[in-house]
Structure 1
Amino acid sequence: MPLRDGDRAGHLELNRRYWDEEAAAAHGPLARDHWARTEIRWGLWGTPESEVSVLPGEMTGARAVELGCGTAYVSAGLARAGARPVGIDLSERQLATAHAMQEEFGLRFPLVLGDAERLPFADGAFDLAVSEYGASLWCAPRRWIPEAARVLAPGGQLVFLRYSPLFALCARPGEQASAALLRPLFGMDRLDWGGRVEFVLPHGEMLRLLRSHGFVVEDLIEVRAPRPAHREYAEVSAGWARRWPSEEIWKARLAG
């Protein structure tokens, strides 16, 4: 996918290359386990939806879009719950894995190669927008959040999971999160990790951004790693994430 006009810093192209050339090889083998889950589980620590309750209680027939769907296991969970999901991602390799999982599990829904900062969908086309470490981390929030608002119908719900600002303050490329603050909070937005770019806005800025596009924030869940955790990660240990939140889930509704 070529770099589009207006992508001043080139993060879309950089991230596309990262996922197509590096990350997909590591994440692809996990797809089968994720698709086999009987319940949607969120984030690094596999937090079950029954514990956080961020999705609508009744999803039968709900029009849903997963922004930055990757291998689309969240969309698969939405489909099993009765929703009508569409997944969009800028990585051809990730979508190829998603198509393979659809064949294996016999579950069909549209998968679109595209950019969550410029969605190819009509205004008000969806009742629910979801992002789990997709657009919520890899896209510029001042671009993808207005697009999410545009494609949601009045009263539609936005649920997204991202790294917590506290984790971002303590993170350094190639190392596990530290117990010390390594960067300033003020002015934090874009995090350059060499071969990829991630975005983490502080809480106040994120809240104001959501409100400016018509969202009412209904919940903010700071996720704690369970004991015992099913695994450790190169970027953060379970011990760290039991003391401080490494990730968080936002739940917001479009006023209508």
Structure 2
Amino acid sequence: MLSASSRANRFWWDGNADEYQVEHGEFLRDAGFMWCPEGVDEAEARLLGAVEGKDVLEIGCGAAQCSRWLSTRGARVVAFDISHRQLRHSQRIDLETGLRVPVLQADAESLPFRDGAFDVACSAFGAMPFVAAPLSVLTEVKRVLRRGGRFVFSVSHPIRWAFPDDPGERGLTSDRSYFDRTPYVEADDDGTPTYVEHHRTMGDWVGLIAASGLTLTSLMEPEWPDGHDRVWGGWSPLRGRHLPGTAIFTCSA
């Protein structure tokens, strides 16, 4: 059974997938692996290591742009997302590019895969910020990875929670406690959640990774690169020069 957070976010992404792909599709590329709005590209960052001949799982894949890129590098990729509409966009891009990626609809808190099925798992802003039980996801990832496997995931940097989600000057002044873990929730007129995003501090993420049995091996806080002027929601050159916008965790099983 889906949690309230999962139900809300499935509803939200089904309703907003079209707009999201129109707005961000060019930046993401049909077969490209972009970790974050700062523009960290897996082709250069190589956070996943060599993937040729490896079994790779993408968690919260959206339209599977990352998986499609991985397939061009010789990986055997499986991808899933909670949103059916996002997966329809994956099918559309498959037809347009001729690069077909196997995708399925699933919830990250209960992975429909056998133990030790994958060498690598990855998630670029997929699922991890939106789930109510991140330890369940991390534990599931640990279960489906082979011994020595790697999991890399990116999320909004925890410090951003203390600042308004505004790309301008207003977004540079803290207006809430970094330690307030109250989720951000949007609801309909009946009070039913329609979008939920959860906040964990950096310490929370480290503790969750350790509790899952994974080992944190690297933490990347990308700086905003010179010449990159694209605004994505609360991410912008102005804020990026002052505050980290993304945290990328690399873990081993």
The reply to whether TM is greater than 0.5 is yes
Quote the residue 2:185 is aligned against: 192
Q: Does residue 1:12 correspond to 2:6, yes or no?
A: yes
Give the alignment partner of residue 83 of structure 2, picking from 62, 82, 91. Answer: 91
Give the alignment partner of residue 31 of structure 1, picking from 25, 32, 37. Answer: 25
d(CA) in 1 for partners of 2:27, 2:180: 38
- 1:182 CA displacement: 2.4
d(CA) in 2 for partners of 1:181, 1:116: 32
Quote the residue 1:78 is aligned against: 70
d(CA) in 1 for partners of 2:30, 2:64: 12
The residue identity in structure 2 corresponding to 1:145 is L
Quote the residue 1:216 is aligned against: 215
Contact kept in structure 2, 1:32 and 1:101, CA below 8 Å: no
SS in 2 for 1:41: coil
Give the alignment partner of residue 57 of structure 2, picking from 50, 53, 65. Answer: 65
Give the alignment partner of residue 117 of structure 1, picking from 109, 122, 125. Answer: 109
- 1:192 CA displacement: 2.3
Q: Does residue 1:151 correspond to 2:144, yes or no?
A: yes
- 1:25 CA displacement: 1.9
**Structure 1: where are the runs of 5+ without partners?**
none
Contact kept in structure 1, 2:229 and 2:236, CA below 8 Å: no
Aligned positions, number: 244
The residue identity in structure 1 corresponding to 2:226 is R
Q: Does residue 1:181 correspond to 2:174, yes or no?
A: yes
d(CA) in 1 for partners of 2:246, 2:197: 14
- 1:83 CA displacement: 0.8
Task: Using structure 1 for the length normalisation, give the TM-score.
Answer: 0.87
d(CA) in 2 for partners of 1:112, 1:234: 28
Contact kept in structure 2, 1:84 and 1:109, CA below 8 Å: no
The residue identity in structure 1 corresponding to 2:150 is Q
d(CA) in 2 for partners of 1:19, 1:193: 13
- 1:114 CA displacement: 0.9
- 1:161 CA displacement: 0.6
SS in 2 for 1:108: coil
- 1:36 CA displacement: 4.3
Quote the residue 1:252 is aligned against: 251
d(CA) in 2 for partners of 1:13, 1:205: 24
% identical aligned pairs: 30
Name the stretch that deviates more: 133-142 or 147-156.
Answer: 133-142
Contact kept in structure 2, 1:88 and 1:114, CA below 8 Å: yes
Give the alignment partner of residue 164 of structure 1, picking from 144, 148, 157. Answer: 157
Q: Deviations over 1:214-238 (max 9, x none)?
A: 2111111101222222411332322
d(CA) in 2 for partners of 1:62, 1:191: 37
- 1:79 CA displacement: 0.8
Contact kept in structure 2, 1:170 and 1:181, CA below 8 Å: yes
SS in 2 for 1:127: strand
Aligned-residue RMSD, C-alpha = 2.0
**Structure 2: where are the runs of 5+ without partners?**
188-193
Task: Using structure 2 for the length normalisation, give the TM-score.
Answer: 0.88
d(CA) in 2 for partners of 1:191, 1:142: 19
SS in 1 for 2:151: strand
d(CA) in 2 for partners of 1:167, 1:142: 21
More relative contact order, 1 or 2 (CA 8 Å, 6+ apart): 2
* Residues 50, 107 of structure 1: alpha-carbon distance in 2 compared, 3 angstrom cutoff: closer
